[in-house]
Structure 1
């Protein structure tokens, strides 16, 4: 039986999540040309996990997979000294620069927008530095104008998609009295009005039934956004930049999502240095790499969490979508675990760290058995019991 605390948590359901229900989610780096996207991507690529760590899986030149820095994972590896260590990772895609008119096919237009449709979240890189050597596609540096340009292009593409969907629904409604067609038609009208009002789909307060339909559309403005402000090293070091207050004000008026100041050229230099030199440089110049924060924030933004399985053979992070229940989390390990799910034996990382061993956690009454309704939390350490014909328990 799950403890009462778990039940009370379940009593207040979370807002339904927009996006694909999958543990294989990815984030795309988006922005105008010459804002620092490719330098950021190339910097991240140097930190990426070798392709051979992903058998039977092609990693394209514009994809990188970067381990999530996590002290909990490091601590578990120290405790168990396992034969195998598998960290969680974030998959990042570099997407070609967008220009005004992309929704009508300008620049790489439709190609660019189809690449955004294929990712689950967006790192929106904004240029907040002036440099006569690096031209700006609009001839002057104005990150708020750039924000408006990209946001409008994504909205216009979504309006185009919804218009096409409405046409198809209207044709189908002439041939059928299916109530579901009417429900979807009404939602599309609402979404179109919302977009025409200059608002992004992810910022709407949609009902669970709406979200179910919206998730089949994969609209561009439904994807979560993290804003990366690329400034010069001096501004980054002194934590001041003339463009930041305007960017902050714009973002607050458009959903208030996360803004991360960064200095892409600094990050490139740090990753090119030996580790000890990079640490010394950061100490002497009183700067810190923003990369760990960027990776962790991106992972959380696309609604991913992970639980641990831990023992002397392996310490592994298993990526799942937030709000996943125990049987589906077990299925991330093997489909048999989900089919024959009996229970999840769960301990909190904090309890294991404080008490020092699994036996001590059990003795303190903090090792719990959870059933099918348990919603897995980030950082849970789980041992699944399952039973399938001819399978036995694990």
Structure 2
């Protein structure tokens, strides 16, 4: 008898919505630079930047192009009539204040807006400016981070307690060993564990280890602390240029203690606002004059990656386009992002890697080198794949 094949390891489920069309929300206390950052990011004046709390009430939304040197190179090679880069959808959300979880300020509306996004850019103020008031009276980024950490966790605790109560109510009659009853008991046990992580361990849900079965329950609860966070520290232009600020080591230490592994990116809204209207050479000259480059490309790329997004390309003289998919997406589902028929009637994909195309210089040369692969339904897409799909009639 031939030896049995080892079982393939189970694919790790992702916290959050199983979608390719994800959004990232800009979160922080009032007057920390969120709306000004959103305006610089989106090159608009949609965000209401003002020197008082709650200038932003209804969330503003913009699609931000994701910078990608590979996409630029492909456009140079194919010289297409149309160019469509990958985009990240960003939402400017009203400022959060202490007590938001109990409805203070715009608490409940704010938290429902955070619940509707898939990831968080948390903007932290680390600059002094007598002209820009602080809702808590003085600048203290650690206190601000504690407020947001606490408010999001408290709201999650409230939601999980309510879910647990409902589960227990509906399961009072559970006595049989039927599969449905077993599943319900398991769901109660998982929900109790989620509550323990939040309440007893004082941890964000995304920082605990979960099995795929547990992740299904976490995702069903749509928790605020399950969302990936990228910390953006808003410095004065002077501090950003000299790469020094008294708060930065303390902020880093706080993240390492409470949410280890999360990314911290220093930037300066003051500099970004000045650079936002400029393009090309003019922008380069302004960056040289300032002594620092814009942090926005790094921030956008980090936000995109935090949502576990990758992209593949379709190329030709008519169009070069980047298609956003989740990491781990298989070929038929990747094709389905273009059109549902491509997924439903999927035959195969002709795939080459960006690196092979760059090395050989043309599609014909890649084919001649035997580097174009025909891939079927099991194929898992790799970031930077260039794909041509074949679908049945």
Per the TM superposition, whether the score is higher than 0.5 is yes
SS across alignment from 1:337: helix
CA distance in 1, matches of 2:279, 2:311: 31
1:86 aligned onto 2:84: yes
- The aligned counterpart of 1:140 is 138
Which among 276, 289, 293 is matched to residue 298 of structure 2? 293
Q: What do the CA deviations read for 1:267-297 (whole angstroms, capped 9, x no partner)?
A: 0011134653332121123200001111111
Decide whether aligned partners of structure 1 residues 153 and 61 sit closer, same or farther in structure 2, where only a CA change above 3 A counts.
closer
- The aligned counterpart of 1:265 is 270
Q: How does 1:114-129 map to 2 (within 5 A)?
A: 114-129=112-127
CA distance in 2, matches of 1:341, 1:238: 54
- The aligned counterpart of 2:38 is 41
SS across alignment from 2:97: coil
1:354 aligned onto 2:359: yes
Which among 178, 183, 196 is matched to residue 180 of structure 1? 183
CA distance in 2, matches of 1:129, 1:198: 29
CA distance in 1, matches of 2:44, 2:373: 37
- Gapped runs of 5+ residues in structure 1? 1-7, 49-59
Contact 1:80 1:310 survives alignment (8 Å): yes
CA distance in 2, matches of 1:200, 1:374: 34
- The aligned counterpart of 2:52 is none
CA distance in 2, matches of 1:274, 1:348: 31
Q: What do the CA deviations read for 1:180-209 (whole angstroms, capped 9, x no partner)?
A: 211111011001010012100011110011
CA distance in 2, matches of 1:273, 1:358: 36
Contact 2:347 2:390 survives alignment (8 Å): yes
Deviation at 1:14, TM superposition (A): 5.6
Q: How does 1:59-208 map to 2 (within 5 A)?
A: 62-176=60-174, 178-196=181-199, 197-208=201-212
- The answer to which of 129-138 and 33-42 deviates more is 129-138
CA RMSD, Structure 1 to Structure 2 (Å)? 1.9
Would you say how many aligned residue pairs link Structure 1 and Structure 2? 370
- Gapped runs of 5+ residues in structure 2? 1-5, 46-57
Which among 236, 239, 257 is matched to residue 240 of structure 2? 236
- The aligned counterpart of 1:370 is 375
Deviation at 1:132, TM superposition (A): 1.6
CA distance in 2, matches of 1:314, 1:189: 51
CA distance in 2, matches of 1:105, 1:267: 33
Contact 2:16 2:118 survives alignment (8 Å): yes
Deviation at 1:143, TM superposition (A): 0.6
- The answer to which of 146-155 and 60-69 deviates more is 60-69
TM-score by length of 2: 0.91
CA distance in 1, matches of 2:80, 2:285: 32
